[in-house]
Homo-oligomer: A and B are copies of this chain.
Amino acid sequence: MSTFDLRDWSSCQLDLVEQALEKWVSVDATTDLDHHAPADLMESMRYAVLDGGKRLRPLLVMAAFEAVCSGLVADYLPEEERIDETARRGAPDPFLKGEKPTEAALRAACAVELIHAYSLVHDDMPCMDNDVLRRGKPTVHVKFGQASALLAGDALQALAFELLTPDSATLAPARQANLCRLLARAAGCAGMAGGQAIDLASVGLKLTELQLSEMHRLKTGALLQASVMMGAACGDTTLQVGQALQDYGAAIGLAFQVVDDILDVTADSATLGKTAGKDADQNKPTYVSLLGLARAGAYAQELLAQAQAALRRSALSDTRALHGLANMVVNRSN
């Protein structure tokens, strides 16, 4: 198997994702008969989404999609043949006639990113974290005003579900329903929004490690895990693969937050592209405040090992991108 370079792979995927976001978060894309999104609203939505962010969630969607399309180890083919085979068939087997599998995955990738973007817009608002800097730029409410930020976030959430339910035969209805289900649960009150609510209620409190991990499992973990599951849902998976990828998603979801807490203490604002040290300033419970820096770091490595073990259990033949992303999540510097 040829050497896998995560940077090359990511760069290639990100080109696709950025192009797709550019196309789908636009006035033209929302043209439906005579319905148009107002230009002002779209401008704030685009500001919130385009040109920024690590795009970790879209990358997880694409990596999981690739992994399930690579098939199980039992079906393993040398890479050259596998590529030829994919080219010959045009699309992996489990797709309905007319479905465009890569577009399906891109829709899922963009939908997850829109949910992430909306959550940042609302989180940054004065009544929540009151943050003025995000991805090195003024936050949406600073740039466009609070009312516009509120609406832009609301509209981004709806747009995520629009992307998952195209009119055409691009995406089989059952896949559309499945993707909407995964995303709605991950975004909602028993997922991301629920985690935010716990976070909000926890300022100044001393949480146990269990309470802290529960908060983060919802706040950040649910959407990261859903990214993996949605990528897999764009292909076809066995129960075994689904469970293994779910475990992988849970491990990196939590690892992401542990590392976030570490970076909030160890990195500066310029590197992070957002205000560093805010958690401590706001007296928020973090893994660092609970475990200390050294043990928090060790915990992140332990979660990485769990993610890697889950990928081995999946028995998928090509999980290099998922391996690479897990590694990146834990060993990133911003």
A residues bordering B, Cβ < 8 Å? 30-32, 35-38, 40-42, 45, 118-119, 122, 125, 127-128, 145-148, 150-151, 153-155, 157-159, 161-162, 164-167, 173-174, 176-178, 180-181, 183-185, 187-191, 193-194, 196-198, 200-201, 218, 222
Which chain B positions have C-beta within 8 A of A158? 157, 184-185, 187-189, 191, 193
Q: Is the CB of B41 within 8 A of A155?
A: no
A181 to chain B, nearest CB (A): 4
From known contacts A151-B197, A167-B181, infer whether A188 and B162 are also in contact, taking CB-CB under 8 Å: yes
Which chain B positions have C-beta within 8 A of A198? 38
Query: What residue in chain B is nearest A165 (Cβ atoms)?
Result: B181
Q: Is the CB of A151 within 8 A of B193?
A: yes
Number of copies: 2
Which chain B positions have C-beta within 8 A of A167? 181
Report the Cα distance A237→B32, complex, angstroms: 21
Report the Cα distance A313→B292, complex, angstroms: 71
Q: Is the CB of A32 within 8 A of B185?
A: yes
A48 to chain B, nearest CB (A): 12
27 contacts between A and B (CB under 8 A): A30-B188, A35-B190, A36-B190, A38-B189, A38-B194, A41-B193, A122-B151, A125-B127, A125-B150, A127-B145, A128-B147, A151-B197, A151-B200, A154-B157, A155-B197, A158-B184, A158-B193, A161-B161, A162-B188, A165-B177, A165-B181, A165-B184, A166-B181, A173-B176, A173-B178, A174-B177, A176-B180
Q: Is the CB of B127 within 8 A of A150?
A: yes
Report the Cα distance A313→B30, complex, angstroms: 29
Q: Is the CB of B188 within 8 A of A164?
A: no
From known contacts A154-B193, A174-B174, infer whether A162 and B184 are also in contact, taking CB-CB under 8 Å: yes
Query: What residue in chain B is nearest A145 (Cβ atoms)?
Result: B127
Q: Closest 7 A-B residue pairs measured CB to CB?
A: A158-B188, A127-B146, A37-B189, A165-B181, A41-B197, A161-B184, A176-B177
Q: Is the CB of B40 within 8 A of A189?
A: no
Q: Is the CB of A148 within 8 A of B185?
A: no
A28 to chain B, nearest CB (A): 11
